[in-house]
Amino acid sequence: MSTLRYDIVVFGASSFVGQILTRYLAEYFSAQGETLCWAIAGRSEAKLNDVKRSLGAEWQSLPVIVADAASEMQLRALCEQTRVVVSTVGPYALYGEPLIKVCVESGTDYCDLTGETQWIKRMIEQYESTAQRTGARIVHCCGFDSVPSDMGVRFLQQHAMRQFGTPATHVKMRVKTLKGGASGGTVASLINVVQEAAADPSLRQALINPYALCPNAHGYTARQHVVRRAEFDAAFDAWIAPFVMAAINERVVHRSNALSGNAYGSQFTYDEAVLTGPGLKGRLRAMTTVAGLAAFMAGIVIGPVRHVMQRFLLPKPGEGPSPEAQRTGRYDLRFFGRTDEGQVVRVKATGDRDPGYGSTGKMLGQAAISLAHDLVEDGVKVGRGGGFWTPATIFDERFIERLTRHAGLRFERI
């Protein structure tokens, strides 16, 4: 470990989210004075140097590493230099596997912001046993999907245990407020998932399995509720509609339960949805949301319609919300938990930026810092060993503190 030059390398630093993450880390390290050594990496030295120039005079000596996502040799050279790689190169199902393979084989810790369930499942199946042997700690879903959901449920369960001495075996998350936009990278990832599922019936079956990311011997049999249409939710006294991120968030939360030794209970249930309000207006908004999602998904599957949407309606790779839109975005997620005895606990998780970009960049940055700093002592990894972990199972209370102090998130009892 003494030969490592860097604590963190940002791979894909010139991508849309990579630039946000790089700016955040530069601002954070300048303001907080933490002594981590870091570098930026990607396939274009010219673009990386442009990113470095945009950071200001203080960071003109920031190291640049040239590495292509498809070159195992270049990725291996990168991993040999760093303790942690944080990747923003997506769609991960198209470009992410070589880096996972090299990180796992070299014992290098890794985090990313993917929400691609089918790819995560493949990576776990192919590489987890090797990661357990080499000590590589792989942490997917360290952005808006799925940190607020995963850590929000963990926070709720801690309160349930303190107050009632038992976990909340039935938990719901409802999106009260969500203000933000999409980038071309996110759209490309979503399109790829839908296209893969449309072409592969076995993948479709895997994707609808709520326990798709759980270890094979999980043993869970609880029937999970899936919000597919407009519904009235008595727990929130409001109408609800499907939440597009539920497909990944729900599966991450169930994996957290499994990896925690059924800390939430062997019959734990969890579902997510969007609050649309009470009364007739709430019902109409829910129905409109359902119709809009259905039309969008249908458009992605139908080739000619998809091409029109990509050309005229959807952001292209490298495009995304403006800095102002990122700053003025926000979100408010409400959690309802009930124990087997009927005791109720409610908490909320809020963020002060656009969820997918302004907030995700900060969450992802703190995940990388936590892996490199909080989970290492005297150059030796501490805490969890090698394997594929979720945010709620790899990180501890210091991560919650980091998110609260440095990433604009708040977790509160209500």
Q: What tens digit of pLDDT does each residue of 89-130 get? A: 988 999 999 999 999 999 999 999 999 999 999 999 999 999
Do residues 331 and 357 touch, judged by C-beta distance below 8 A?
A: no
Q: Which residues of 183-219 are buried (b: 16+ CB within 10 A; e: fewer)?
A: bbbbbbbbbbbbebbeeeeebeebbeebbbbbeeebe
CB 247 within 8 A of CB 117: yes
Distance set, CA 11 to CA 64, 71, 86, 316 (Å): 10, 13, 6, 20
Would you say residue 414 lies in a domain? no
How many other CB atoms sit within 10 Å of the CB of residue 337?
25
Answer whether residue 122 is part of any domain: yes
Helix axis angle, 397-406 relative to 147-164, nearest 10°?
120
Q: Is residue 193 located within the same domain as residue 106?
A: no
Angle at Cα 327 formed by Cα 95 and Cα 365, nearest 5°? 45
Residue 413 lies in a domain: no
256 lies in the same domain as 340: yes
Per-residue pLDDT of the chain (414 residues), as tens digits, is 447 999 999 999 999 999 999 999 999 999 987 779 999 999 999 999 999 999 999 999 999 999 999 999 999 999 999 999 999 998 899 999 999 999 999 999 999 999 999 999 999 999 999 999 999 999 999 999 999 999 999 999 999 999 999 999 999 999 999 998 765 666 777 777 777 877 888 778 777 899 999 999 999 999 999 999 999 999 999 999 999 999 999 999 999 999 999 999 999 999 999 999 999 999 999 999 999 988 888 887 777 877 887 776 777 766 777 888 888 899 999 999 999 999 999 999 999 999 988 999 999 999 999 999 999 999 999 999 999 999 999 999 999 999 999 999 999 999
Q: Which of 65, 35, 33, 38 is nearest to 49 (CA)?
A: 65
- Identify the domain containing residue 296 by its residue range: 147-355
Domain count, the chain: 2
Read off the tokens for 282: 């709430």
User: Which helix or strand (DSSP H or E) is residue 82 part of?
Assistant: strand 82-87
CA neighbor of 109 nearest in space, from 141, 87, 125, 88: 87
282 and 182 inside one domain = yes
d(CA 117, CA 210) in angstroms, rounded, equals 11
